Amino acid sequence: MAKSIDVSDLNIYYGDFLAVEGVSMTIKARSVTAFIGPSGCGKSTFLRSLNRMHEVIPGARVEGKVMVDGQSLYDASVDPVAVRRQIGMVFQRPNPFPTMSIYDNVLSGKKLNAKRMKKSEADDLVEKSLRGANLWTEVKDRLGKPGMGLSGGQQQRLCIARAIAVEPQVLLMDEPCSALDPISTSAIEDLIHELKSDYTIVIVTHNMQQAARVSDDTGFFNLRATGEPGQLVEFNPTRKMFTNPDNESTEAYISGRFG
C-alpha cells in the first residue's frame, strides 16, 4: 500500500556542514511529487534523506522528523535497510548489475530480502515486475541475456522493475531521465503516470517541463547564497506552481531568469 510522508523541520548535515535547512512538507500517497531547483540547492540530498540513503556518506546526519504513515524513519529502533526496502530508489543513470541477466537483475533485491523462492514464484514475480515497468513485451524472449545489453531507456525501466520487485510503498527517482533520449524519456514519463496508482512517487528533475507534465505537487529548492544551506522555498500543486507561484524566486527560476 502506498504511503504518505510527513517531513517536519528537517535539517540535513554532512559533518558540521548544514546542507539543507528547515524543510517541512507532506507528500501525498499515490501521487507524483517533483522537486526542482538549481544545481547544488539540496534537492537530491533531501530526496536521499527520505530513505536514509544519505547515511552511506560518513558523517551524514539529520535533525527533525520524517514520518511515513505515523512511523518515524529515524527512530533508533528502525533499521535503515528496512527503510530502503519500503522506500525504493531509482538513480540518475541506469545501473543494471553488469554480470546478471535481465531475469536475475529483477530478482536481485528480492533474493537479498527473502527466503528462497520456488522457480514458479520467481517466474511470476519477474513477469509481474517487468509488466509493471512496461518492459515485459520487449524482453520476455531474452530474459537470460545480460541486462547491460538493453538500450538506455530499457535499462532504466529494468532498474524500475528491480525496485518494484521488492514491493516498496514509495519510489524515489533522482533525475531518472537525464541520461536518456527523448523517446526513452517519454516512455519513463508514461510509466510514472501508470505507477502512481500503486505507489507514492517522488522525483528530482532539472527539466521543468517534465515536472509540469508528470507531477501533482512541486517543491522548489534554492540557496540564499553560495555556501548557504538549501531551503524549500515553495511547495504547491504543480498547476499553481507553474502558473501563479507564491514566491518571486520561484517565478524567476521557472521563467528562466536564473538557474
Q: Which residue has the higher pLDDT, 130 or 114?
A: 130
* N residues, the chain: 259
Whether residue 112 is predicted with pLDDT greater than 80 in this model: the reply is no
Whether 47 is covered by a domain: the verdict is: yes
Q: What is the CATH number of the domain that holds 223?
A: 3.40.50.300
Whether 245 is covered by a domain: the verdict is: yes
Return mean pLDDT, the chain: 93
Stretch 203-211: mean pLDDT, rounded?
A: 95
Whether 158 is covered by a domain: the verdict is: no
Q: How many domains does the chain have?
A: 1
**pLDDT tens-digit series, residues 136-192:** 999 999 999 999 999 999 999 999 999 999 989 999 999 999 888 899 999 999 999
**pLDDT tens-digit series, residues 73-101:** 999 999 998 898 899 999 988 999 999 99
- Provide the grid cell at 119: 522457480
Cα-based distances in Å from 171 to 2, 82, 180: 9, 14, 19
Whether residue 238 is predicted with pLDDT greater than 90 in this model: the reply is yes
- Provide the grid cell at 14: 554532512
Whether 259 is covered by a domain: the verdict is: no
The domain containing residue 35 runs over which residues? 5-93+169-254
- pLDDT at position 259 is 57
- Percent of the chain exceeding pLDDT 70 equals 98
The interaxial angle of helices 102-113 and 119-132, nearest 10 deg, is: 110
Whether 84 is covered by a domain: the verdict is: yes
Whether 160 is covered by a domain: the verdict is: no
Whether 205 is covered by a domain: the verdict is: yes
**pLDDT tens-digit series, residues 41-56:** 999 999 999 999 998 8
Whether 113 is covered by a domain: the verdict is: no
- pLDDT at position 217 is 98
| pLDDT band of 3, cuts 50, 70, 90 | confident
Count of H-run helices and E-run strands, the chain: 10, 10
Whether residue 256 is predicted with pLDDT greater than 90 in this model: the reply is no
Stretch 5-12: mean pLDDT, rounded?
A: 97
Whether residue 244 is predicted with pLDDT greater than 80 in this model: the reply is yes
| pLDDT band of 69, cuts 50, 70, 90 | confident
- pLDDT at position 114 is 65
Stretch 245-253: mean pLDDT, rounded?
A: 94
Separation between Cα atoms, residue 179 and residue 106, nearest integer Å: 21
Whether residue 257 is predicted with pLDDT greater than 80 in this model: the reply is no
Stretch 122-143: mean pLDDT, rounded?
A: 96
The rounded radius of gyration (Å) of the Cα atoms in the chain is 18
